[in-house]
Amino acid sequence: MTTQVIVLNGGSSSGKSGIARCLQAILPEPWLSLGVDTLIEAMPVSSQTSASGIQFPPGGAVVIGSEFRALEAAWMAGVAAMAQAGARIIVDDVFLGGAASQQRWQQALGTLRVLAHQGVTYDVEVDTTHTEALDCARAIAACVT
């Protein structure tokens, strides 16, 4: 079975978006890149500032509410539907909830072939603190079947 989804997880500004663009450039098939930032930007401003949506108070914290979780679940199901329909997807996410975040993606993606997270361990780990995005992308692409 071929890889249908690549999940990139890391902190904000850790280089995930750059790696996603490099993967799109070096992988032989076309891949769509979708990030949690895409979801947040698509939400109404009221959901980006309310306790039920998502808030970014001073100090770097992120506060997630029930409205955001509902929209996130629908978005994840949509990403999975695109992959099931044949699109190859690179997901750029920040797992604020650790294992719980992984579990939400695993539930949404179901039986799709996913590279970059299985359970609580990773299929591939790259260190963007000392490695260029293109080199990280090459390491990930080498694992795509």
Name the residues annotated as catalytic. Answer: 37
Return d(Cα 136, Cα 119) in angstroms, integer: 22
Instruction: Give the CA angle between residues 85, 120, 43 to the nearest 5°.
Output: 50
Return d(Cα 84, Cα 78) in angstroms, integer: 10
User: CA 58 → CA 44, 47, 63, 122, 125, distances in Å?
Assistant: 21, 17, 11, 31, 30
Looking up tokens 């750059």 gives 18
